[in-house]
Amino acid sequence: MKLGVHSRKVILKYLTRLLVSRDFENVGDLLELYARLNDQVMTGELLRYARNNGVAHIFYEALAERGLERSELARALAKDAEAVYRNAQYRDELLRLLVDVLEEGGIEYVVFKTFNQLGIVDVDVDIIVQREAYWDTVKRLISKGFKPVDDLEKTYATGFVIKGNPLIVDLHTEVTILGIPYVNSETLFKHKARVKYRSNCCGSIDLYVLDSPAEALTRIAHSVIKEAEIKIDDISEVLKVAKEQPSELAKLLKVEELDPALFFFAEKVDRELCLGIRKPESFDSRRGLRVLRGIVSRGKDVPPYHLPRLVSVAVLIHRVRRRSEVGLLLRVLENLRYRRNAAHIGSLLVRRII
């Protein structure tokens, strides 16, 4: 049986709903069905979806649990799943080194946007320290073999790598886009939590991460303002907090003037998945925001969902205006001299042109 284009899109949308709800049992049942059908086109669609969303390990494990590790779909997923496992080990090795360096030096820190319930591994580890501890942190990292990949004067976000590990450490003193903060760093430090993380390679690691509402806040702001892209792990993390701790998340959004970010995040996700993320209704009353809402709602696709850059700009301007920080917008031009900043803007423009 060959599936039509519309049927494949419906299947992928349903699969997304199952993943963000962490209904792995039904994810496995659905994958088993299509692995047994052996539809070449659907196999290609599922493989592309897994790669784009970093969930090959979830798909492979679900098939292996059902004795289908030798199916064509599982064999196609195996290499990508192995890359996820390998990168998870690299991430955990990096975290062990980082935590040792920071805690030996008595440096206050928070790891954010690095862990998620789907086990997706990103290309970097994000960590924030206090501004006054920046140079001490840099010296300690360099003394342990880390090398900077940015200008060290770019103190708000500087990348480091260490030999033998392909992942980047993004050392922040502020959470910014082109040097403009889109989440107050002090908010993050107020919402840090000590956890015991069971690593893939180094036993348990005691470290500081964001509590769930602050993590959701950061993911909403990052996906809407900085990346203009909503990933499947963002949806999963935000949905969990929106259901379990809605008042705590609402308070943080209000404090950070990020209600519009949630509005557009929820508008796009609900349009595609109907998951019931509550939107601040007040932002539907203004004509300009209604126009942007229409732009966000166009198109039907699967994650990662792309947003118009106009939405990112509108949300950022709303925030800096409400916080009386409009002068910060001048930093954009000043900070375009940094290579990674220019590359970031370039990649966003190219992605939307293509």
- Give pLDDT tens digits for 120-174: 999 999 999 999 999 999 999 999 999 999 999 999 999 999 999 999 999 999 9
| CA–CA distance, 314 with 284 (Å, rounded to integer) | 14
Angle between helices 40-53 and 24-37 (to 10 degrees): 150
pLDDT value for 295? 77
Q: Say if residue 44's pLDDT is above 70.
A: yes
Please, where in the chain does CATH 3.30.460.40 lie?
87-211
Among the listed residues 203, 230, 227, 217, the one whose alpha carbon sits nearest the alpha carbon of residue 301: 230
The hierarchical CATH code for the domain 87-211 is 3.30.460.40
Dihedral of CA 274/250/171/329: which sign? Answer: positive
Residue type at 84 in one-letter notation: V
Helix (H) or strand (E) holding 194: strand 192-198
Q: Say if residue 186's pLDDT is above 70.
A: yes
Helices (H), 191-256: 212-221, 232-244, 246-255
Q: What is the pLDDT of residues 227-268, one digit of tens each?
A: 999 999 999 999 999 999 999 999 999 999 999 999 999 999
| CA–CA distance, 331 with 179 (Å, rounded to integer) | 6
Structure tokens at 90: 């690299």
User: Which range (77-81, 83-87, 236-240, 309-313) has the least confidence?
Assistant: 309-313
Pairing assessment for the beta strands 157-162 and 305-306 based on DSSP bridges:
unpaired
Contact (Cβ atoms closer than 8 angstroms) between residue 264 and residue 296: yes
Can you give the pTM of this predicted structure?
Answer: 0.92
* Backbone conformation region of residue 299, classed left if phi is above 0, alpha if psi is from -120 to 50, else beta: left
| CA–CA distance, 125 with 135 (Å, rounded to integer) | 19
pLDDT value for 3? 57
Q: Say if residue 353's pLDDT is above 60.
A: no
Residue type at 195 in one-letter notation: V
| CA–CA distance, 268 with 293 (Å, rounded to integer) | 9
Contact (Cβ atoms closer than 8 angstroms) between residue 284 and residue 323: no
How big is the chain, counted in residues?
354
